[in-house]
């Protein structure tokens, strides 16, 4: 069994969730992003910015270079929705989402097995020896679940308009 | 890189989502399960039965024997919530959830790398040759995202009571 097959499986699982989220986001007009997913809950625009920021953070965790959208962390990760912090407009966020997915796919495709199975930047070498499953690929698996988690919430809105 | 490490990573990702769902379900009294996750949406009891049934189906897909809770498919998978079909009571479903997770963990721990990377029962040998990433372990990755998807919805209820 070659590591490439497992890496391919993890990337495919990621692509499935991103593809579903992309389909959801593409189905809406810009105005619709200001709706809440359910009464009193996060707005769609917040979840879009949140996913971009959290996904973008893999660039840093995987030592692939500088992040592209680190400026979104304040309004979309560190703070809850409606914090009053400035947010880019919906059209800009939609562009970021598209570009971020393209950038991450390109990075993932170029990573070697040694990179995927190596430690990520918030771990020490000792951590990896103790727990060899805590590597970059495991971060991708967890980020995949994170996309799915919020997609389940977004789907509540979609179900509401159908 | 040994296949055991990949398999361990996928099982760990599963365990993380199941652990979070378990924590959520354990935090509620039986009565609370009749609440909707958001106005007009699925009830918590439906999502509990749905997760048990969908997870249990891995026993069949992985050729591990007879399913334990196939009778839940009608009310919790084939039909939406409030179909009028009979449902076990909440206390019984909570027992099923606990036992199902124990049973699946035990099955997963006993599966060999050959089993994990082999085809599942709804595929042909030719399918696997064409797409080697479509194996049992990929089913586990997708089922992990499925748990996360509904956990995101359940969390809306939890956020509502906190």
Give residue-wise pLDDT tens across range B81-129.
Answer: 999 999 999 999 999 999 999 999 999 999 999 999 988 888 888 888 8
In terms of CA atoms, which chain B residue is nearest residue A3?
Answer: B1
3-class DSSP assignment, residue A84: coil
Contact flag A149-B159 (C-beta cutoff 8 Å) = no
Q: What are phi and psi of B36, to 5 degrees?
A: -80, 150
ipTM (interface pTM): 0.94
Closest CA–CA distance from residue A9 to any residue of chain B (Å): 5
| Helix, strand, coil percentages for chain A (3-state, nearest 5) | 70, 0, 30
Cα separation values, B86 from A148, B56, B72, Å: 30, 19, 9
Per the model's pLDDT, the better-predicted residue between B21 and A127 turns out to be B21
Return d(Cα A128, Cα A134) in angstroms, integer. Answer: 6
The model's confidence at residue B159, banded by pLDDT at 50, 70 and 90, is low
Which residues between 143 and 162 in chain B have a beta carbon less than 8 angstroms from any beta carbon of chain A?
A: 144-153, 155-156, 159-160
A111 and B CB contact within 8 Å: no
3-class DSSP assignment, residue A62: coil
Q: Region B19-27: what's the mean pLDDT? A: 97
Residue of A37, A133, A159 with shortest CB distance to B8: A133
Q: Which of A20-24, A38-42, A158-162, B6-10 has the lowest mean pLDDT?
A: A158-162
In terms of CA atoms, which chain A residue is nearest residue B18?
Answer: A145
Determine the pLDDT at residue B79.
Answer: 97
Global confidence as pTM: 0.94
Q: Region A47-60: what's the mean pLDDT? A: 98
Q: What are phi and psi of A120, to 5 degrees?
A: -95, 170
Determine the pLDDT at residue B158.
Answer: 74
Determine the pLDDT at residue B124.
Answer: 87
Determine the pLDDT at residue A161.
Answer: 47
Contact flag A3-B8 (C-beta cutoff 8 Å) = no
**Residue A41: pLDDT above 60?**
yes
**Residue A159: pLDDT above 50?**
yes
On whether the CB atoms of residues B49 and B93 are closer than 8 A, the answer is yes
Contact flag B13-A141 (C-beta cutoff 8 Å) = yes
Q: Give the list of residues 6+ apart from residue B68 with CB closer than 8 angstroms, or none.
A: B56, B59, B96, B99, B100, B103
Contact flag B13-A41 (C-beta cutoff 8 Å) = no
3-class DSSP assignment, residue A67: coil
Determine the pLDDT at residue B135.
Answer: 92
Residues of B in contact with A47 (CB under 8 A): none
**Residue A160: pLDDT above 60?**
no
Give residue-wise pLDDT tens across range A109-138.
Answer: 999 999 999 888 888 888 888 888 789 999
On whether the CB atoms of residues B8 and B137 are closer than 8 A, the answer is no
Residues of A in contact with B117 (CB under 8 A): 1, 5
Residues of B in contact with A144 (CB under 8 A): 141, 144-145
Closest CA–CA distance from residue B29 to any residue of chain A (Å): 23
Taking the CA of residue A49 as centre, how many other CA atoms within 13 Å lie in the half-sphere pointing to its CB? 29
Determine the pLDDT at residue A56.
Answer: 98
The model's confidence at residue B162, banded by pLDDT at 50, 70 and 90, is very low
Select from A43, A1, A38, A24 the least CA-distant residue to B36.
A38
Contact flag A153-B151 (C-beta cutoff 8 Å) = no
The model's confidence at residue B45, banded by pLDDT at 50, 70 and 90, is very high
Q: What are phi and psi of A60, to 5 degrees?
A: -75, -45
Contact flag B133-A41 (C-beta cutoff 8 Å) = no
Per the model's pLDDT, the better-predicted residue between B134 and A141 turns out to be A141
Give residue-wise pLDDT tens across range A88-117.
Answer: 999 999 999 999 999 999 999 999 999 999
Q: Treating both helix axes as pointing N-terminal to C-terminal, what angle do B3-26 and A136-161 enclose, rounded to 10 degrees?
A: 40
Give residue-wise pLDDT tens across range A54-85.
Answer: 999 999 999 999 999 999 999 999 999 999 99
Q: Treating both helix axes as pointing N-terminal to C-terminal, what angle do B3-26 and A3-26 enclose, rounded to 10 degrees?
A: 40
Return d(Cα A58, Cα B117) in angstroms, integer. Answer: 27
The model's confidence at residue B161, banded by pLDDT at 50, 70 and 90, is very low
Q: Report which secondary-structure segment, H or E, holds A141.
A: helix A136-161
Q: Region A14-20: what's the mean pLDDT? A: 98
On whether the CB atoms of residues A35 and A144 are closer than 8 A, the answer is no
Could you tell me the end-to-end alpha-carbon distance of chain B, in angstroms, rounded to an integer? 44
A1 and B CB contact within 8 Å: yes
Contact flag B5-A133 (C-beta cutoff 8 Å) = yes
The model's confidence at residue A162, banded by pLDDT at 50, 70 and 90, is very low
* Helices and strands of chain B, counted as H and E runs: 7, 0
B129 and A CB contact within 8 Å: no
Closest CA–CA distance from residue B42 to any residue of chain A (Å): 9
Taking the CA of residue B6 as centre, how many other CA atoms within 13 Å lie in the half-sphere pointing to its CB? 26
Q: Give the list of residues 6+ apart from residue A138 with CB closer than 8 angstroms, or none.
A: B9, B12, B13
Return d(Cα B127, Cα B124) in angstroms, integer. Answer: 5
Q: Give the list of residues 6+ apart from residue B94 with CB closer than 8 angstroms, or none.
A: B25, B30, B48
Q: Which residues pair with A36 in a beta bridge?
A: A43
Residues of B in contact with A155 (CB under 8 A): 149, 153
Closest CA–CA distance from residue B58 to any residue of chain A (Å): 17
Contact flag A5-B146 (C-beta cutoff 8 Å) = no
Determine the pLDDT at residue B63.
Answer: 93
Return d(Cα A5, Cα B1) in angstroms, integer. Answer: 12
**Residue A1: pLDDT above 70?**
no
On whether the CB atoms of residues A109 and A136 are closer than 8 A, the answer is no
Determine the pLDDT at residue B131.
Answer: 81
């Amino acid at each position: 069994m070659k590591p490439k097959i497992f890496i391919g499986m993890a990337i495919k699982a990621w692509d499935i969730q991103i593809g579903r989220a992309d389909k959801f986001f593409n189905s809406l007009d810009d105005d619709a992003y200001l709706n809440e997913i359910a009464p009193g809950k996060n707005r769609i625009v917040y979840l879009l910015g949140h996913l971009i920021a959290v996904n973008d953070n893999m660039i840093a965790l995987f030592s692939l270079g500088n992040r592209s959208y680190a400026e979104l962390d304040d309004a979309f990760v560190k703070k809850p929705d409606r914090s009053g912090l400035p947010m880019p407009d919906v059209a800009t966020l939609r562009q970021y989402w598209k570009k971020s997915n393209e950038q991450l796919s390109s990075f993932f495709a170029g990573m070697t097995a040694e990179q995927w199975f190596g430690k990520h930047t918030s771990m020490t070498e000792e951590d990896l020896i103790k727990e060899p499953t805590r590597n970059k690929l495991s971060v991708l698996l967890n980020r995949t679940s994170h996309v799915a988690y919020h997609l389940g919430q977004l789907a509540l809105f979609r179900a509401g308009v159908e």
